[in-house]
A and B are shown apart, each in its own frame.
Chain A
Amino acid sequence: MRTVATTKPARRSTLSEPVWVRWLLIGAALSFLGLFLLIPLAAVFVEAFRKGVGAYFAAFRDPAALAAIKLTLLVAAVAVPLNCVFGLAASWAIAKFNFIGKHLLITLIDLPFAVSPVISGLIYILLYGLNGWFGPWLAEHDIQIIFAVPGIVLATLFVTFPFVAREVIPLMQAQGAEDEEAAVTLGASGWQTFFRVTLPNVKWAVLYGVILCNARAMGEFGAVSVVSGHIRGKTNTLPLHVEILYNEYNFVAAFAAASLLAILALATLALKSFVEWRTHRTAPNPLEIPYEGGPLA
């Protein structure tokens, strides 16, 4: 989902509502957003500092908190690059070539957005859990996936699967293959064409996708919760750590950890707006090209 910039000349008078209607609507919009966005966000920080700055920072001295932060970073560091490479490969295949079943492929790539986070975790239990398809084999070879880090990574890969692909595919499709054809007639090889012509053309869309992918990878709760096993200090990501602290009525520490995630969210929104602003200056905005594939998320 993206912000659409609204730089339009002043509307003509026939197309406007009376002033009181306008302010009524703006007021309704802002109250709704204030109630549902601003107050929860403020609550996070107020609760985190309820017992003072000292208590806030004490929450991060807990080894379990540090382990959770580390694991969260690790999971994102694996999932984001993998899905980024996938997104680029899929975009190249889909945008630069014509083949049978392209639309089906695009729909399948979007599928994870339609799946409940809980189910996203469950399906990996069915595959790799103790009684799953590969469970006995894994147990025999002493490999643990479920209730361990690999399971968390897999579930995260699933929920963040489409992010880069769905940003890059429509842009590459809109750009067509003419630049690449020009590079080829000038003697460039496939890799030269990709790195020197294609990638610079889609870099903002890739960045956009990576930002969203990263936010979701670090913040995923449902899917990870199902496969993690909640082993403190071992398989707890930051969102899971928040849950445990909260359920133990350790509210300040829970909100302190949550504030970290809230800051991540705000940084994500800021970066996202920056990319949108950047791409808006070079018309046509590649991020506003309608997407042909599935619509979810």
Chain B
Amino acid sequence: MKIRFKQPSVLPGFGLTFGFTLFYLGLIVLLPLAALFWTSAGMGWSDFYSTVSSPRVVAAYRLSFGAAAVAACVNAVFGFIVAWSLVRYSFPGRRIVDAMVDLPFALPTAVSGIALTTIYSRNGWIGRLLEPLGIQAAFSPLGVTIALTFIGLPFVVRTLQPAFEDLDAETEEAAASLGASRWQTLRRVILPAVLPSLLTGFALAFARALGEYGSVVFISGNMPMRTEIAPLLIVSRLEQYDTVGATAIAAVMLTISFVILLAINLIQWRASKQSRIA
């Protein structure tokens, strides 16, 4: 049996469309990404390590990861409630609320950045309320977390919504008829069924928050060691014409992003395998 690259088909145009796809993908995506890894590989291990392990870089990584993780957790909890409310309950304005969930995707990040900064700064609408409590939101790690929560908000909602829709009403009724309380049904029937979607949404929100730049630069205040996130550090290295340093920091982040991507694929693959058996 001969292994063929492409199975024969009566439809024309494979060569043209496949060729163009590869060419364009190579030009716009693969070649530039290759340049990044090539450049960081060229700088030698000790240079690379000393760059990415300098205290300022480590602090930036720590803030980026920490704030992204907290933001993704907040989104997981509230995203669950929002998605549940949108799918299960009807209330006035539900359709508009549903459409508005995508606002963080549609709103340019610079706009959300300056809007959030204005609200949470000392004399902003919310900042004013927080100040007497001794809480400083803008220009602090809290501000970074708020911006990252905003930016990751749609992910959990949008991955959970179809999962809630797909839930078979009969399994819940079966649980009820077997004597389970509503809370038990939620914990033991609904939650396991939507867990892969919840994890995927969490991972997506986390990955997006990790790389976010526009909405954070304004609210963070950009203080080295305290409120400087990793993408910002890349930009400031570039502004000092330290392209190699920027590349090293970027290579670490990109690798982590790809690992998260892989993890998400793994979650979905496992989930689809499970649903096929069921």
Contact = CB atoms under 8 A, between A and B. Distances in A.
Interface string A237-256: 01110110010000100110
Contacts of A115: 33, 211, 254, 257
Contact of B211 (A37, A40, A117, A290): A117
Contacts of A184: 10-11
A137 to B, nearest CB: 14
Nearest to B232: A118
A175 to B, nearest CB: 13
Interface residues of B, number: 106
Interface in B174-226: 176-177, 182, 200, 204, 207-208, 210-214, 218
B261 A294 contact: yes
A131 B210 CA distance: 28
Contact of A119 (B20, B21, B36, B173): B36
Interface of B: 3, 5-7, 9-14, 16-18, 20-21, 24-25, 28-33, 35-36, 39, 78, 81-82, 84-89, 91, 94-95, 97-116, 118-119, 124-126, 149-150, 153-155, 158, 161-162, 165, 169, 172-173, 176-177, 182, 200, 204, 207-208, 210-214, 218, 231-232, 234-235, 238, 243, 246-247, 250, 253-254, 257-258, 260-261, 264-265, 268
20 contacts: A14-B173, A25-B89, A89-B17, A92-B17, A94-B21, A97-B9, A98-B6, A99-B6, A99-B14, A107-B265, A111-B33, A119-B36, A123-B33, A177-B9, A221-B108, A222-B109, A225-B214, A226-B238, A251-B118, A255-B114
A122 interface: yes
Given A219-B108, A243-B110, A126 B32 contact: yes
Secondary structure class of chain B's binding surface, majority of residues: helix
Interface of A: 1-4, 6, 8, 11-12, 14-17, 22, 25-26, 28-30, 32-33, 35-41, 43-44, 47, 86, 89-90, 92-94, 96-100, 105, 107-109, 111-112, 114-119, 122-127, 129, 131-133, 154, 157-158, 161, 177, 180-181, 184, 189-190, 193-194, 212, 215, 218-222, 225-226, 238-240, 242-243, 246, 251, 254-255, 258, 261-262, 264-266, 268-270, 272-273, 288, 290, 294-297
A131 B31 CA distance: 16
A6 to B, nearest CB: 5
A295 B204 contact: yes
